[in-house]
């Protein structure tokens, strides 16, 4: 309770003592509404007491003791007879409580004070059925859509990946064997690899990394493989004649034969032929100069045997 | 060194035949193979043939002398006249040239000087043509001088009979290269003896 005194000039008792019930700090809109109602009631009481005081002054100069004895009784009687609900309802109808509160109340201070006093977390945990609320919210919301639209997933994932050691997490927390086994059971790895993997690049990369020659030398029993090879088939596929001709050409067998069989006589004959040819040319030039001929037509029909002999040899038999 | 792969590439490109021929011919002789031969070469070849004919005639003459000495010992040997020897030599030369030109196209002198006699189509001479050309050559050897003045290096005999003496050096070892497997069952290789 809070008590007050109103002093007045004049004979007789001049002081009116009133008592106000100080309500606890309002909580929420309903709290403020209750406080307003209580203020209205207090105001009614004060008015009643004022009326009593005035009557007392007019009728008889009551004493303070008399007032102390009668005022509460009268107040209670007045209060009992007042339709407080109607009064409050009418007051609420006529007042814009929100405007009053906004104008008259230091809301930040009130809220801060209230929050200082209250453990909101505990209050929510104790009083709110979080499961129901969250369930209802989840039923109403499309969380996936919200996350997709409102969240910078890339940044979140990037930051998460920066801060997490995924390898360590997977190694410590995941049953890798079970995961892999189940994945392998459900997947057709062959199809996946054929569809999604650039096998050429993979193989190229692998071959770049590996020293296949050394690998074969180290790991393959070449002798065993050769022992299983049908050499006759291999030789049948080898171009033996080409190889023989290649060897003949490489060792210059014709020159060897010519040198070994012809010897000095063949060289002398070649020299004699060449010198005779040179004499032919000289004599032709001399005669042509004398008779003012520019050029002779020396092309003869057919092909010389020295140039076609080989072609005739290699022609298939008729 | 040529690798086997390079060798096969050359073979597939057809360059191998020319190379094989080049292996068998002196480099300086390659450009003029197939051309009509000049006067100097032909006169030397002809001279070799005549010398061979003379040697053969002399041999025949010596043989006749020896046979007569053996069969008629102690008597004076009467030898054939020089004219007879000349006739025999001419006859032998005609027969020798006819056979040589009609078969191989070369006499020994031609072979030594790298010549071959061909007809208007480049083929060896037929027997009649060969015999006719041989008669011309034996009967009028001076026709060879026309080679100097002919615009196509033809002798008088060649001009009349439309034959040619060409440079065609004998290639004896071209067959060193083995024939292809599918042609190996054919005739023996021309270079083999």
The reported pLDDT for the residue numbered B133 is 95
Domain count, chain A: 4
Residues A15 and A96 in one domain: yes
Measured CA to CA in angstroms, residue B116 lies from A199, A208, A280, A303 at distances of 67, 64, 16, 11
- Distance CA(A71)–CA(A17), nearest Å, equals 10
Give the pLDDT band (50/70/90) at residue B68: confident
Identify the domain containing residue A153 by its residue range: 118-164
Q: Are the beta carbons of B41 and A253 separated by less than 8 Å?
A: no
Q: By the CB < 8 Å criterion, does B149 face chain A?
A: yes
Residue of A nearest to B43 (CA): A276
Residues whose CB is less than 8 angstroms from the CB of residue A167 and which lie 6 or more positions away in sequence, other chains included: none
In this structure, of A15-24, A129-138, B9-18, B114-123, the range with the lowest mean pLDDT score is: A15-24
Mean pLDDT of A3-24: 54
Confidence at residue B16, expressed as pLDDT on a 0 to 100 scale: 67
pLDDT at A158 > cutoff 80: yes
- B185 CB neighbours in chain A (<8 A) are 317
What is the per-residue pLDDT for A187?
A: 87
So where are chain B's domains?
Answer: 82-170
Residues near A5 by Cβ (< 8 Å), separated by ≥ 6?
Answer: A15, A16, A17, A18
A131 shares contact with chain B (CB less than 8 Å): no
- Is residue A220 located within the same domain as residue A275? no
> Does residue A94 sit within a domain?
yes
* Residue bearing tokens 């209050």: A123
Lowest mean pLDDT, pick from A105-114, B20-29, B181-190? B181-190
Each residue's pLDDT tens digit, A229-263? 888 888 888 888 888 888 888 887 777 776 666 66
Residue with tokens 């004022």: A50
| Chain A residues within 8 A of B151 when measuring between CB atoms | 293, 296-297
Q: What are A183-223's pLDDT values in tens digits?
A: 889 888 888 888 988 989 988 998 899 898 899 999 999 89
The answer on A35 and A8 residing in a single domain is yes
Residue finishing a domain among A228, A250, A272: A250
Q: Which of residues 6-35 of B touch A (CB under 8 A)?
A: 7-8, 11, 17, 19-21, 23-26, 28-29, 32-35
Distance of alpha carbon A230 from alpha carbon B188, whole angstroms? 33
Q: Chain A partners of B17 at a C-beta cutoff of 8 Å? A: 310-311, 314
In a domain, A310, yes or no: no
Is A178 among the domain residues? no
Chain B environment of A291 (Cβ under 8 Å): 149
Q: Is A293 on the interface with B (CB under 8 A)?
A: yes
The stretch A273-286 carries a mean pLDDT of 92
Interface membership of A137 toward B (CB under 8 Å): no
Mean pLDDT computed over every residue of chain B = 82
Distance CA A91, CA A100 (A): 12
Tokens of A205: 């990369």
CB atoms within 10 A of CB B128: 10
Across the interface, of B34, B123, B153, the residue whose CB is closest to A304 is B34
Q: Is residue A272 part of a domain?
A: yes
Residues A244 and A259 in one domain: no
A292, part of any domain: yes
């Amino acid at each position: 309770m809070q008590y007050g005194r109103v002093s007045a000039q004049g004979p007789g008792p001049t002081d009116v003592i009133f008592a106000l019930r100080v309500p606890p700090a309002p909580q929420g809109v309903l709290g403020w509404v209750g406080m307003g109602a209580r203020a209205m009631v207090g105001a009614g009481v004060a008015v009643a007491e004022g009326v009593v005081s005035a009557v007392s002054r007019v009728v008889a100069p009551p004493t303070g003791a008399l007032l102390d004895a009668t005022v509460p009784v009268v107040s209670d009687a007045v209060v009992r007879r007042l339709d407080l609900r109607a009064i409050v309802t009418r007051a609420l109808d006529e007042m814009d409580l929100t405007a009053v509160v906004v104008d008259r109340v230091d809301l930040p201070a009130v809220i801060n004070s209230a929050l200082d006093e209250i453990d909101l977390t505990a209050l929510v945990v104790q009083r709110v059925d979080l499961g129901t609320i969250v369930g209802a919210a989840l039923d109403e919301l499309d969380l996936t859509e919200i996350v997709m639209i409102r969240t910078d997933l890339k940044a979140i994932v990037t930051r998460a990946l920066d801060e997490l050691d995924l390898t360590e997490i997977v190694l410590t927390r995941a049953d890798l064997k079970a995961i892999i086994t189940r994945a392998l059971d459900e997947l057709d790895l062959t199809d996946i690899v054929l569809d999604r993997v650039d096998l050429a690049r993979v193989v190229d990369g692998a071959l770049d990394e590996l020293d296949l020659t050394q690998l074969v030398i180290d790991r393959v029993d070449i002798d065993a493989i050769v022992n299983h090879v049908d050499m006759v088939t291999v030789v049948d596929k080898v171009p033996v004649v080409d190889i023989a001709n290649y060897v003949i050409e490489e060792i210059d067998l014709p020159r060897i034969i010519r040198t070994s069989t012809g010897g000095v006589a063949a060289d002398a004959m070649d020299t004699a032929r060449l010198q005779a040819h040179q004499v032919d040319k000289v004599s032709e030039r001399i005669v042509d100069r004398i008779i003012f001929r520019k050029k002779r037509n020396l092309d003869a029909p057919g092909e010389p045997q020295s140039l076609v002999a080989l072609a005739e040899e290699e022609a298939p038999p008729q | 060194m040529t690798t086997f792969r390079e060798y096969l590439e050359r073979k597939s490109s057809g360059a191998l035949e020319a190379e094989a021929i080049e292996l068998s011919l002196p480099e300086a002789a390659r450009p003029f193979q197939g051309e009509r031969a000049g006067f100097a070469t032909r006169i030397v070849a002809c001279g070799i043939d005549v010398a061979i004919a003379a040697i053969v005639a002399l041999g025949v003459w010596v043989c006749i002398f020896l046979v007569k000495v053996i069969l008629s010992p102690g008597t004076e040997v009467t030898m054939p006249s020089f004219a007879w020897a000349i006739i025999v030599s001419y006859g032998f030369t005609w027969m020798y040239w006819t056979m040589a030109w009609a078969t191989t196209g070369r006499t020994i002198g031609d072979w030594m000087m790298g010549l071959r006699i061909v007809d208007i189509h480049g083929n060896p001479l037929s027997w009649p043509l060969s015999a006719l050309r041989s008669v011309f050559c034996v009967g009028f050897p001076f026709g060879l001088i026309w080679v100097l003045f002919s615009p196509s290096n033809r002798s008088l005999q060649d001009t009349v009979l439309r034959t040619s003496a060409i440079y065609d050096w004998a290639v004896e070892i071209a067959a060193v290269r083995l024939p292809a497997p599918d042609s190996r069952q054919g005739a023996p290789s021309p270079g083999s003896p």
